[in-house]
Amino acid sequence: MLTIVLIAIAAFVATLLGGLFAIKLRDKLHLVLGFSAGAVIAVALFDLLPESIELGSKYFAVSTMTSIVAVGFLLYLILDRYIFLHTHIQDVDDLHDHRSQRGTLGAGTLSIHSFLDGVAVGLAFQISMSVGVIVAIAVLVHDFSDGINTVSYILKGGGDKKRALKWLLVDAGAPVIGVCSTFFFTLPPQSLSVVLALFCGFFLYVSASDLIPESHHAHPKFLTTFMTILGAGILYAAIQLAGV
C-alpha cells in the first residue's frame, strides 16, 4: 500500500515537472521525450506483452492476446482522434477562431488520459510488485510528457501561465485518483491479462504517435534517436533485473 501511495505521489511530481519544463526549458525537452519514447516502447514489448501472455495462457491462445494488443492500439487511435481530439502541439496554431476552447479541451482530455495511466499502475500492482514497478516507470515518464503537453495546449491556445498551472495541477492529480481507485476493486487473472494486453497497445500508440514525433520535431534526429534507443535499453535492463 505504501509503495503504491509513493508512486502516486511520484506521478503527481513527474507531471508537475513536465509542465514546469514546458514553461521554462522547452527547447531542451526533445532529448527527454526521445528517452521517454524508448522507455514506453520497452515496457509495452518487454513487460506488458509477455506478462499478459503468461497470465492469459490458461484462458487464451497467444494469437488472441496479440490480437487484443492490436485492438488496444486501434482503440486508442480512435479515442485519440475522435474522442480525445488530440492534435500535435504545432497544429494548434492553425485553429485561430477556437484556440482557447481547443486548448482547454486538449488539457482536459490529457487529464482523463492521466487518470487511466493511474488505473494501469494500480492494476499492475495487483499482479506483482515487479510488474507494478515497471509499469509505474513507464507511466512516470509518460506523465512527464503529459505535463509538457498540458501546459503547451493552454499556452498555444492563448492562455496565460496562471491558467496553464491550474490545468497542470488537474492533470497531475488525475493519476493519483486513478491509482487510488484501484484500492476498491480487483480483477481475476483472466481479466488482468486482457487489460495488460490493451495497455500494451495503448502504450505502443502513445510512443509512436506522440512521444517520437514530438521528440523529432525541429530537432536533430541523431540525438533523439540515440535517446530513444537508450531509453529502451535501460528499461529492458530494468525489466530483466526486476524479473530475476
pLDDT > 50? residue 97: no
- Split into its structural domains, the chain has a count of 1
Contact 3, 134 (CB under 8 A): no
* Residue indicated by cell numbers 507494478: 132
Amino acid occupying residue 118: G
pLDDT per residue over 165-203, tens digit each? 888 999 999 999 999 998 888 888 888 889 889 989 988
pLDDT > 90? residue 71: yes
Cell reading at 173? 492529480
Residues 6+ apart with CB under 8 A from 108: 167, 170
- What confidence category does residue 84 fall into, taking pLDDT thresholds of 50, 70 and 90? low
- Residues 95-119 have a mean pLDDT of 67
Containing structural domain, residue 224: 2-22+30-242
pLDDT > 60? residue 221: yes
* Residue indicated by cell numbers 534517436: 225
Residue 178 to residue 114: CA distance in whole angstroms: 8
pLDDT per residue over 139-170, tens digit each? 787 677 778 777 766 776 667 788 888 889 99
**The pLDDT of residue 27:** 62
Least confident of 39-43, 55-59, 156-160, 229-233: 156-160
Cell reading at 8? 502516486
